[in-house]
Structure 1
Amino acid sequence: MRNGRLLTIDGNPADPNSQGSVCAKGVAGPSVLYDPNRLLYPLKRAGRRGEGRWLRISWEEAYTEIADRLRAIRESGRPEEFAFQQGRNRSTDIVRRFLNAFGTPSAFNHRALCSLNRRAAILATIGDSDWDLGDFENTRYVLNFGCNWAEAHQGHIPVAIRMMRARERNHAKIVTFDARLSNTAAVSDEWFCVKPGTDGLIALAMSNVICSERLWNKAWFDTWTNYSADEYAAHVRPYTPEMAEAESGVPAEAIRRVAREFAAAAPRCTTICNRGSHAHRNGFYNDRAITVLNALVGNMGHVGGWCWHPLSAWDTQALPEPGPIPPKPTARSLIAEAKDWPLANAWEGKQMRVGEIVYRWIKERRQPISALMTYNCDQAWAWPEAGLVREVLSDEELVPFHVCIDVMVSETGNLADIVLPWTTYLERWDIDSRPPQGLVDYVGLRQPVVDPLGESKDLREIFPELARRIGGGMERYFPWRTQEEYFEEYFRTVPGGFARMRANGVWQDPAKAPNYVPYERVLTAGELKGSQTDEKTGIISKGGESVGVRIGGVARRGFSTPSRKVEVHSRFIVDKGAEADRTISPLPIYEPIPGQRERLAEGKLIMISFKWNVHNAHRTLQSKWLQEISHTNPAWLNSATAARLGVEEGDWIEVTGYRPMDEHVPGGDGSPLGTLRTRVHVTEGVHPSVIAIAHNAGRTTGGPVASNGRDRTSLPGHPPSRDKDRERVWWEGSLSVAQNDIMPIYPDPVSGQQAYHDTIVSVRKVTGTG
């Protein structure tokens, strides 16, 4: 800081995840904070939705209108008709409190557009967590299936620094399977360019090799899974490396060699995967196969192996939320339940909402909405079939009232009735922690470094005030007078309390040890008191719930699955499928994408999406520092594919997206969805059946920086920009296309995960400038 102005950002060395490192997005924080096109005052629509005509209003006017609307909905007895949509949310406590106090279950997030298949596969298999945390720093071998941890991953910098330490200290080998030469693939020891959606088949073929050559840890598998190693060997026998080569393009001998190397490194070996493996129609099965591959070599929970932590954030039992706590809503909501997908909400408390389908439901009037509040989620630009989202948000009969809370004007905000200026993370209080890469949970405090600019406010100010104005009992759940008073109470169990958190920014209980082999923990006499043991299964039950399992006569904790073991064969998912009249295989399998082979034979391509290391979904494109680095997104084509299509570097092409040919998917009739025009980047760094387009471009609003000069709107009440860089956007007019306009809504029938990497497109060369 200098003279009250933020100049630079460094990482906090006390943070156990980042350990003082930050990425480009962190360094660029000041350019977001001082963005001249930020929202600074409440705005009210003055024309039709989408016209971009606004009036500046006071917070009093905004609060009054919003509270009046929401009060009427609540008093109507249909609280579920108030829907709340969120993007990335680090204020889960205050959001949950407000929605529960209101009584609406109609909240949906971007889980199905991000990580639903991955989480469902892990929960179904081990039950202890919905996210794996490989012990990368101590590993010797990493199999990476479609995870771009060097650029765009939930763990990003914490994962990257541990990967690099493993290479330096342990001579760890990293092998990456990905359809595109990402920065992660580039820093790996080996990169195999795979056909999208075949990652699970490669893992099954490796399992075949490990079983047939008896490279497995048979004793561990037979002890700690609910399926014998011999049975699993029989199951994977048809999945030969030759079969995997024919589908994926990875040579059979390479699959055999890598499988042998992986097994030889056990237990100090692990897998890592992300949207490259699970954001597919078959993604649940892909990640199940990859997860069980770890069990086969017995690395689960071991130092340097495939690990996890039961908490993905801070320990809410050690740090209980200040009371009084509102009860959970009793109203019913199609948005919340998503019953068409067996595993969408199969695990209590995980909120695996199938968010991409909601706007289709609203259009079909399956889900009545009286008011919608969107928070940090630019769905009118960032969601599949974004044109459908814009159509629904434009219709005042379908969405009578829409409030948008965000830092900048966006395509979504442009379709709101009231826009509220949200503080950046540099101007607000928050509780912050992430999945602990060191396998010990921690809690962090986000605190303002500058006063909020203009009249921007955070949810922790907005929601308590709305609750008081709505009334009807809501106000009693917000008894504190200031945010600091709330955090004083929240951190009272931390040694040194709120003062310590303000000084250090983070706290980790020194008495806690890394979460290694938690399933081996021997149950105490107190835990066993009053329990019963099933002589056939060894499962120990108490009070009607399983608490452990006897292994070799010893009562151990086991896994948090029905069998208290790794569920290679899952009866749970079969039963969930039956409830929804859907067949789910109890074992990991490979399931080809319906219709894909036939459409590729017609000359069509698979469109995939990726993110640059300097951008974060919709939240960074207004940063002039980051946008100057990356502001365009031409389509990547393999040189052989380009030659077949008769196109060269820089040529213009027209890309037409199609809906899937899949009877289990809403609108799965194979029809054209839309077209876009873009330029070609010819490269060997992408699979021949693929066209790859970056997600981080294509804005039409948000100011000249975000939109490459398309939008120069001045907001009412905002002072004229004094930013000397406003007229120095040298990349004005650069190519920038919105990929999601031609990407169909495509939920995996098992969990509801959006199949981001299965969009079928046709490509033709065109003349002109797009």
Structure 2
Amino acid sequence: MSTRADTPSTGEPSDVPPGASWELGRRDLLRIGAAAGAAVAGLGILDAVHDPGPVPASDRGTGPAAARTAVPSMCQMCTTACGIIGHVVDGRLVEVTGNPLDPNSRGSVCAKGVAGPSVLYDPHRLLYPLRRTGPRGSGRWKRISWEEAYTEIAGRLREIRERGAPEEFAFQQGRNRSGDIVSRFLNAYGTPSHFNHRALCSNNRRAAIVTTIGDSDWDLGDFENSRYVLNFGSNWAEAHQGHIPVAIRMMEARRRGARLVTFETRLSNTAALSDEWFCVKPGTDGLIALAMANVICREELWDREWLDTWSNYPAEDFAAHVARYTPEYAEEHSGVPAADIARIAREFAAAAPRATTICNRGSQAHRNGFYNDRAITVLNALVGSMGKKGGWCWHPNGSWDKKAIPEPGPIPPRPTASSVIADARDWPLANAFEGKRMRVGEIVYLWIKEGRQKISALMTYNADTAWAWPEANLVRSVLADESLIPFHVCIDVMYSETAHLADIVLPWTTYLERWDIDARPPQSLVDYVGLRQPVVAPRGESKDIRDIFPELARRIGGGMETYFPWATTEEYLEAFFAPVPGGLAAMRRDGIHLDPEKQPNYEPYMRRLTPGELAGATEDPATGIITSGTDDKGRPRAIGIRVKGIARRGFSTPSRKVEIHCGFIVGKGREAGRDIEPLPVYEPIADHQGEFPDDQFIMTSFKINVHNAHRTMQSKWLQEISHTNPALLNRASARRLGIADGDWIVVESYRPNDPDIPQGDGSPLGTLRTRVRLTEGVHPLVIAIAHNSGRSAGGAYATNGRDRTANPGYGTDAADPDLDRLWWSGALSVPQNDLLPIYPDPRTGGQAYHDTIVRIRKA
């Protein structure tokens, strides 16, 4: 199915009684338009000075009345971390705008960023430490002092460490923008049981990139200067990691005449902004890319000189490899017409080197996601656009330049203990790449339940795993079981499903009240560093981990305290920012530092090695690879390669070239007893093959622009824009089942029928009852549900008015007059994560969010 993309798709119905039909009304259209506008333009469309309600005098500043100050900082309403300016009047934040010095966001801020004050001043924020007084999950709490909390937590952790089992203390993080202090604390303690959410986010994508080029696990297409962008499942207008920075550059490219073609299962706002949208079957993105490679090779549209110079695999051999992936074969499996595949391949090659791909969860969040993204990445090598202006680019720094701005010492050593769960050796590429730990977060709770590793204490930090993880019901059952997790500390801004199953809850500061060193992959290809600083004083007794962890380290003792010699966070940051001109004072003034001497990271592989680098180096006459010294494992350290008589840096792969054929991953697979293909291939998803019965579908997941993770659903402003997540279903598919627009349906999900997947027995997993919205903007085999909804805890706004219970951690100002105006109270909101199985790609462990088989019936 192909269309000229004109109209965005949303999952927002009006709130109407069960059984009634409905159509989009004026209010819905206004909300949809606002959401799309914020996503595309990168502008805050909410009323930035909309006061979220009264705040106690104890939370106000002492400055002169009506004195307005502007404080630079960095947002954390999503992972993009845009530079912001907080505007403060009488100690109260009244407006958030963008920081024009931020080279990524360029002074823009999206709806989520503008809504920051509504989280800061939410009446259901946790402001005081809590200790559980009833059974886990009973919701019975007692407010305690920080002294009591510190004493109990430090005592528990000290006992584990002193008996020589530091790995029994596990730390589960979500979006972590304080990586320096987290790693310092965990390494000082000695635990390797540090779990992130990367497998639920980007494992497949990162592994595909680092496999191919070695230099980075982030791609940064030079979109602003591009003439042609092929988009495989990236919803950059709403939910990309580089959201606003990417959207700004994409729209500038479009203004300059660049062509954008999108392959996606759903008519997202990104698809709506494209010149062409092709509605594809889930998991076939890589096949489409391989079919394009077939055309480019067969018609010799490639950049042969670049390939011969910089690829480690002969062009003719790759042409022979992709010969089987014809456009006709791709049409049969993906639904994209063969003629269009061939035409777009020719257009893409003709636009090179100012042509690039972009892909994200739409292509990589599948069982075959690693292979999909390998195939898409290699398209850029075929046409010679890698590293070129307007082409497919990258930067070695995923954040700031840590050689120029290193973390102050003393630095604790890495843990020597081992963690079965963190190592995740069942997935050979999860932790295969030097310095790029990917972990497999979705299997943590399953393996705890199975007894793979003993856990004596768990600390969850900004990670609502009991709501946001696949098989969330399994996560809740493990967190509730004191025999599996004897002690659980939750650190978060808001009460949540995970906090509900903790023993101690610590009130965390919002990003508007704390300090951080931060930066994101540089969209303009020049790295920078930013400062997150308090815009206002912390409310209540909330604290940041930069205060909590040093205090715990001092109380645990045993040498941990020596790694926290600074009396205050500001003293630590003074040392951290000493290399920056003007130091911390300049960072506080500007919020951002960008070295004016640095140039965009175009063609880094072409850099000539200097005489100093070549002094004492050794060259392999057969390969031209140049080595100097040894790495930390005593192996010769490659620094470059001789190309046409010139010693150049090359790529950071074993061959110092683009590895279209990668022997390294084959070897890693063998070590784990798995076969991994060295070349990009299409691997059909077994459960997706054959004829589907009328009631069987592939369930996909998506995000919309005004929601990110669990924190955004506790914003009254954002919830007012979007607070429901009906199932999107194709009209023709619904007609066969007798389902009408607005009907209630029952969705039943199944685990994959796949021996390579944990619990892959095809068994039923879960059911939910939801409303359906019929649309032409979704593939006929797909039922699509936004995952940003369905909360059962966290306050009235998070739960659409259902949860108005008092909590001693909320403080004295939990009453909110706006609750009387909560017009969407009781609105449809379902937890899709309860239906999603644990479903990792067998190579990397990346979660297959878009492959779940479901059956539906009219309720």
Q: Fold conserved (TM > 0.5)?
A: yes
Q: Tell me the secondary structure at the aligned position of residue 19 of structure 1.
A: coil
Partner secondary structure for residue 621 of structure 1:
helix
Give the aligned residue type for 2:126. Answer: L
Q: Which residue of 2 aligns with 1:158?
A: 245
**Is the counterpart of residue 581 in structure 1 residue 673 in structure 2?**
yes
Tell me the secondary structure at the aligned position of residue 92 of structure 2: coil
Q: TM-score if structure 1 supplies the norm length?
A: 0.99
What code does the residue aligned with 2:726 have? Answer: P
CA distance in 1, matches of 2:508, 2:819: 22
For 1:443 and 1:252, how far apart are their aligned partners in 2? 46
Amino acid at match of 2:659: E
In 2, Cα distance between equivalents of 1:645 and 1:322: 63
- 2:466/2:472 contact within 8 Å kept: yes
The answer to whether the aligner puts 1:249 opposite 2:335 as a matched pair is yes
Map residues 4-19 of structure 1 onto 2, 5 A cutoff.
4-19=91-106
- Deviations for 1:136-170, whole angstroms, at most 9, x for unmatched residues? 1110110000000000011000000001111112x
Aligned counterpart, 2:607: 521
The structural deviation recorded for 1:595 is 2.6
Superposed displacement of residue 525, structure 1 = 1.2
CA distance in structure 2 between the partners assigned to 1:448 and 1:716 by the alignment? 25
2:688 equivalent to 1:596? yes
Could you say what secondary structure the match of 1:600 adopts? coil
1:563 matches 2:649: no
2:570 matches 1:478: no
Matches within 5 A, 1:258-277: 258-277=344-363
Structure 2 match to 1:114: 201
Are positions 1:206 and 2:292 aligned together?
A: yes
Partner of 1:743: 836
Q: Which residue of 1 aligns with 2:383?
A: 297
**3-state secondary structure, aligned to 2:97:** coil
Q: Deviations over 1:403-449 (max 9, x none)?
A: 00000000000000000000000000111100000101100001101
CA distance in 2, matches of 1:645, 1:46: 50
- Please give the alpha-carbon distance, in whole angstroms, between the structure 1 residues aligned to 2:537 and 2:299: 64
Q: CA deviation at 1:214?
A: 1.1
**How far apart are the structure 2 equivalents of 1:259 and 1:48?**
61
Return the alpha-carbon distance in structure 1 between the equivalents of residues 660 and 409 of structure 2. Answer: 41
Aligned to 1:409: 495
Q: Select between 716-725 and 85-94 the one with higher mean Cα deviation.
A: 716-725
Name the SS for the 2:714 alignment partner. coil
2:857 to 744, 757, 764: 764
Please give the secondary structure, in 2, of the residue aligned with 1:656.
strand
Partner of 1:192: 278
Asked if the contact 2:695–2:857 (Cα under 8 Å) also holds between the matched residues in 1, the reply is no
Q: Which deviates further from its counterpart, 531-540 or 574-583?
A: 531-540
1:732 aligned partner = 825
Deviations 1:210-246 (A, max 9, x none): 1111111011111100011111111100000011111
Instruction: Choose the corresponding residue for 2:788, options 681, 696, 705.
Output: 696
1:94 partnered with 2:94: no
1:293-692 matches, cutoff 5 A: 293-543=379-629, 544-598=636-690, 600-601=692-693, 603-692=695-784
**TM alignment of 1:229-240, pairs within 5 A:** 229-240=315-326
Amino acid at match of 1:346: A
Paired residues of 1:18 and 1:158 also in contact (CA < 8 A): yes
- For 1:232 and 1:739, how far apart are their aligned partners in 2? 41
- Structure 1 alignment gaps of length 5 or more: none
CA distance in structure 1 between the aligned counterparts of 2:483 and 2:303, rounded to whole angstroms = 61
* Residues 641 and 649, structure 2, Cα contact 8 Å, conserved in 1: yes
Identity of aligned residues (%): 74
1:6, 1:726 → 2: CA distance?
Answer: 21
Distance (Å, rounded) in 2 between the aligned partners of 1:217 and 1:349:
32
**Pick from 160, 166, 181: which aligns with 1:73?**
160
Q: Structure 2: which 5+ runs fail to align? A: 1-87, 630-635
TM-score in terms of structure 2 length: 0.88
Task: Specify which of 836, 847, 851 is matched with residue 754 of structure 1.
Answer: 847
Task: Check conservation: 1:599, 1:760, Cα contact below 8 A.
Answer: no
Residue 724 of structure 1 and its aligned partner are, at CA, apart by 1.4
Deviations 1:452-478 (A, max 9, x none): 001000000000000000001000100
User: Contact 2:694–2:733 (CA<8 Å) still a contact in 1?
Assistant: no
CA shift digits 1:54-102 (9 cap, x unpaired): 1000000000000000000000100000000000010000000000000
Q: Is the 8 A contact 2:801 2:819 kept in 1?
A: no
The Cα offsets for residues 101-128 of structure 1, whole Å up to 9 and x where unpaired, read as: 0000000000000000000000000000
Match for 1:134: what amino acid? G
In 1, are the aligned partners of 2:192 and 2:415 still within 8 Å (CA)? yes
- 1:52 has 2:145 as partner: no
Amino acid at match of 1:530: G
Give the corresponding residue for 1:282.
368
Matches of 1:599 and 1:627, distance apart in 2: 39
Secondary structure at the aligned position of 1:628 is classed as: helix
Deviation (angstroms), 1:617: 1.4
> For 2:126, which of 39, 51, 56 is the aligned residue?
39
Summarize deviations over 1:365-408 as a string: whole Å, max 9, x none. Answer: 11110000000000100000000000000000000000000000
- 8 Å CA contact 1:140–1:166 kept in 2: the answer is yes
By how many angstroms is 1:530 displaced?
Answer: 1.5
User: What is the deviation of 1:674?
Assistant: 0.8
Residues 54 and 715 in structure 1, CA contact (< 8 A), matched pair in contact too: yes
Secondary structure in 1 matching 2:94: coil
Query: In angstroms, what is the RMSD of aligned CA positions?
Result: 0.9
The 3-state SS of whatever aligns with 1:404 is strand
Contact 1:107 1:335 (C-alpha < 8 Å) held by counterparts? no
Structure 1 residue 716: Cα displacement: 1.4
Q: Secondary structure at the match of 2:234?
A: coil
Aligned partners of 1:196, 1:341: CA distance in 2, in Å? Answer: 23
The residue matched to 2:653 in structure 1 has which SS? coil
Structure 1 residue 348: Cα displacement: 2.2
Three-state SS of the structure 1 residue aligned to 2:728 is strand
String of CA shifts for 1:172-203, please: whole Å, max 9, x gaps: 01100000000000011111000010000000
Q: CA contact under 8 A between 1:674 and 1:742: conserved in structure 2?
A: yes
- How many residue pairs get aligned? The number is 765
Residues 599 and 450 (structure 1), Cα distance of their counterparts in 2 relative to 1, 3 Å cut: farther
